[in-house]
Amino acid sequence: MHAMVLSKPAAIEQQPLKLSELPVPEPSAREIRVRVEACGLCRTDLHVVEAELPPHQPHIVPGHQVVGTVDACGTSAHRFKVGDRVGIAWLRYTCGECRYCQSGKENLCPRARFTGYDENGGYAEYALVLEDYAYAMPDGLDSAAATPLLCAGIIGYRALKRANVRPGCRVGLYGFGSSAHIAIQVARHWGCSVFVMTRDERHQKLARDLGATWAGPSDVKPPEPLDSAVLFAPVGTLVPTALEALDMGGTLAVAGIYLTDIPTLNYERHLFHEKNLCSVTANTREDGEQLLKLATQVPLKPYTMSFPLAEANRALLMLKHDQIQGSGVLVMDN
């Protein structure tokens, strides 16, 4: 099978992903094999490629927003049948035994493994996944349009929950890439007023098109104090900016898996009056199921830009420089 393989992390400008020929993988007893139709691009993929996340494997196929059809089932895998359309997300394995797994916080499992980081992901024609970590994909979206739901959507949804977003509240989104353009649709479905802070005027326009009350530059204070905010951009200098924009009792959730250093905070300006600062770490499978259910209720309509598999380096370079509106997607020619 064709796959884009990372053997030596490097700046994406050096095109470190190499188109390679790998054996078609065989599923173990509890795994299913998925014939990949499309795989969404995620900034986490870029962090893996450029080693902002330390390498876990000497050779890895990135990609963790995978949609395709079940091609084969392991001997003990009975949840899906051949031909079913399924999704593969970032969370690939948890132990099920630790205190985090036992208390509904499997996203914090210390033995968790992740797609496209610990094991090969979806920048390939085939991918494996334990059947318990695959998702049945909703009807109504083609495979390319469905891919962003599997990380951008799930993380955006969890970030809204972590930011204590409630129906009708004032929500700020800092950065407006793949996750944020789905999160705004969920927030608007809940009747929230959404304020978007992003440096790119094209992203500001998309935010307005998706129902933002206001959109402006990242360093400009929104016209109303925020009840909740989510920082999607991996820019630590925006943390004090977002905290200062919160109303009393407001919450800021940092959604990225990677963030540049946060400057010194001033207690009175940034945290006093019971403001809250929290992070978002991966997701639970329950988050995924809830988001996919919401996808048909809203309904969610991700904006996508498609690339062939062989152009993964170029696509990630465009992602790095905020040149993709909505979500980038690698589409397989199979």
What is the model's pLDDT at position 334? Answer: 64
All structural domains of the chain: 2-150+283-331 (3.90.180.10), 154-279 (3.40.50.720)
* CA–CA gap between residue 89 and residue 114 (Å, rounded): 8
* CA–CA gap between residue 117 and residue 128 (Å, rounded): 13
Low-confidence residues of the chain: pLDDT under 50: none
* CA–CA gap between residue 283 and residue 41 (Å, rounded): 17
Helix H or strand E encompassing 154: helix 152-162
Structural contact between residues 150 and 124, judged by C-beta atoms closer than 8 angstroms = no
Whether omega for the bond prior to residue 263 falls within 30 degrees of 0, making it cis, is no
* CA–CA gap between residue 68 and residue 262 (Å, rounded): 39
Nearest 5°: the CA angle 180, 183, 189 is 145
Q: Per-residue pLDDT tens for 159-208?
A: 999 999 999 999 999 999 999 999 999 999 999 999 999 999 999 999 99
DSSP 200-266: -HHHHHHHHHTT-SEEE-TTSPPSS-EEEEEE-SS-TTHHHHHHHHEEEEEEEEE--S--PPPPPPP
What is the model's pLDDT at position 199? Answer: 92
What is the model's pLDDT at position 74? Answer: 98
